[in-house]
Amino acid sequence: MGVVFCWEGSFGTRTNCCNALQYRREMNVRRLRHTAKRGREMAKLRESPLYGRGELPIDFTPMTWENVIVGEEMGPVDYDIKVSSHLKHADIIQVHHPWFQEELHLFAPWEMMCGARVMSRWKYGRLNAGLMTALDFHFFKPAKAGQKLLGEVIVVDKYHKRGRDYVLHSTTTKDENGEKLFWTREELILLGEHKGQVAGHSGEESRKERWQEKWEQDGEEAEASPDLPLGFVLKCQIRKPLAMAVSGSAAGGWSKDKWVDNIHSDDYAKSKGYAGGVVEAYMVWEFGLLEMLVNFFGPEKLFTTGMATTKICGPGYVGDTVVGKAKVIDKIPELSGTRLVLATRVERENGEMLNVGTISAIT
């Protein structure tokens, strides 16, 4: 059955246990819940985006608890990732594998996920006063820089937890023929008037008790294989410095004329109790883990069969040194091969946890 690895649930408060049976069950439950939500009354409030391509307006209606409508459908919104932007992103996350650098396949989740791209154009304008707290994503088919992509978003749920307002979205990225490329489920906390760091998102010392198990730092280099033993630890990846990638970030600071209450800016983030502007959660994941996972699974397998869950545990800051870790926790027989399941984590060099989760792909 394999080693059990548990952490606070990615969505809600349940516990996820990743052995073969539980892994299948958890993924099926998530799909069923998503289907059940879709079965409710859906609402498409407009047939085209509120904002077109180009610079988003400064005067806009931000996402708030009151204007989030459960069941609302947004999209499709078309977008593409320019080659120059793609290569810049490669430099930011320090990944120059030929699959990305020469063949120009898009990175994920950053370039393939469409949530912010759709919601900002469709309804909300600049999305800058929220924090990602959990993320599931599934790969179906790779895409390339310059390719036309279509993004769709469904508001799955909204709820109160630990005195905060949360919104749950599902997003689907498709090619221009409507074929599914990438799917995510994203939990977002609305900061609004709340003061202080998000509980479970601050890196406080007491939180370390939830993940007392220590993984050896070194590990070994290997390629994915059903023959690897359970508990096999991959060679850890130490990366620095962590950088910001969101549009508008600049060495000289954020434009206060264009960005208001922006969690990525030092002033606003400090007003919420953080040490500085918070780096995007999916950037922390990519920076800490992506190169390791591409080298382990191979890009073709990862970007066509990959499935991941991630719980955000603490904020990443520009300049951080992060350590990406992964180890084999299960092997699940499937018709097309063996799904190898890894537990993953990204830490600061002092051991503070930034995110924890799983990823799997067919080998």
Residue among 150, 144, 135, 26 nearest 76 (CA): 150
Q: 61 — phi, psi (to 5°)?
A: -100, 110
- Give the CA distances from residue 213 to residues 4, 122, 208, in Å, rounded to whole numbers and listed in that order: 12, 44, 10
Residue among 245, 28, 241 nearest 136 (CA): 28
Q: Is residue 11 part of a domain?
A: yes
SS (H, E, C) 38-96: HHCCCECCCCCCCCCCCCCCCCCCCCCCCCCCCCEEEEEEEECCCHHHHHHHHHHHCCC
pLDDT for residue 256: 58
Dig out the tokens for 83 from the structure: 């080659």
Q: Is residue 211 part of a domain?
A: no
Q: Is residue 208 part of a domain?
A: no
* Cis omega (within 30 of 0) for bond into 62: no
What is residue 3's three-state secondary structure?
A: coil
Q: Is residue 43 part of a domain?
A: yes
pLDDT for residue 42: 60
Dig out the tokens for 37 from the structure: 């939500």
Note whether 301 and 361 are within 8 A (CB). yes
CB atoms within 10 A of CB 220: 10
Note whether 196 and 333 are within 8 A (CB). no
> What CATH number is given to the structural domain containing 288?
3.10.129.10
What are the pLDDT tens digits along the chain (363 aa)? 332 223 333 443 333 334 444 544 455 445 444 444 444 556 777 788 888 877 776 666 778 899 899 999 999 999 999 999 999 999 999 999 999 999 999 999 999 999 989 998 898 877 766 788 999 999 999 999 999 999 999 999 999 988 889 999 999 999 999 999 999 999 999 876 544 555 444 444 434 444 445 665 578 999 999 999 999 999 999 999 988 765 555 555 555 555 556 677 777 777 778 888 888 888 999 999 999 999 999 999 999 999 999 999 999 998 899 999 999 999 999 989 999 999 999 999 888 999 999 999 999
Q: Is residue 162 part of a domain?
A: yes
Q: Is residue 209 part of a domain?
A: no
Q: Is residue 213 part of a domain?
A: no
Concatenated DSSP letters of 307-359:
EEEEEE-S-EETT--EEEEEEEEEEEEETTEEEEEEEEEEEETTS-EEEEEEE
pLDDT for residue 20: 43
pLDDT for residue 8: 32
Q: Is residue 212 part of a domain?
A: no
Q: 265 — phi, psi (to 5°)?
A: -95, 150
Where in the sequence is the domain holding 289, given as residue range(s)? Answer: 6-49+59-198+218-362
- How many domains would you assign to the chain? 1
* Cα angle: 235, vertex 311, 127; to 5 degrees: 120
